[in-house]
């Protein structure tokens, strides 16, 4: 499988109805490219495994397709938010490697 890294700038937001779960959207253009290039490797719920780097913190997780927005969603772990000082509504840059 090919590997690629994307640099993304997005706003952290709190998922309604799920206590404490924060996400960031991957913009539509990059989401479409990711789906085209890597979608065949999707796992459960259409998820794709990624390595994320935000600030000085890197971790392995998955991105998930969101039908409503037409983008992929990146879950933002509480430990990462705290370590990097990211709050709901903050816009930050990060990279994902598929």
Domains, the chain, in order of start with CATH, read 5-97 (2.40.30.100)
Summarised one tens digit per residue, pLDDT across range 24-65 is 999 999 999 999 999 999 999 999 999 999 999 999 999 999
Which residue, among 44, 83, 81, 86, has the nearest Cα to 65 in the 3D structure?
44
| Percent of the chain as helix, strand, coil, to the nearest 5 | 25, 45, 30
> pLDDT grade, residue 95 (50/70/90)?
very high
Q: Is the pLDDT of residue 13 over 90?
A: yes
């Amino acid at each position: 499988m090919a590997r690629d890294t994307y640099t993304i700038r997005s706003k952290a937001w709190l998922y309604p109805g799920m206590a404490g779960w924060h996400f960031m959207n991957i913009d539509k253009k990059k989401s479409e490219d990711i789906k085209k290039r890597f979608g065949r490797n999707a796992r459960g719920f259409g998820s794709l495994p990624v390595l994320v780097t935000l600030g000085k913190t890197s971790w392995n997780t998955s991105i998930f397709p969101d039908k409503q927005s037409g983008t992929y969603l990146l879950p933002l772990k509480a430990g990462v938010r705290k370590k990097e000082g990211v709050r709901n509504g903050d816009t930050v840059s990060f990279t994902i490697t598929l």
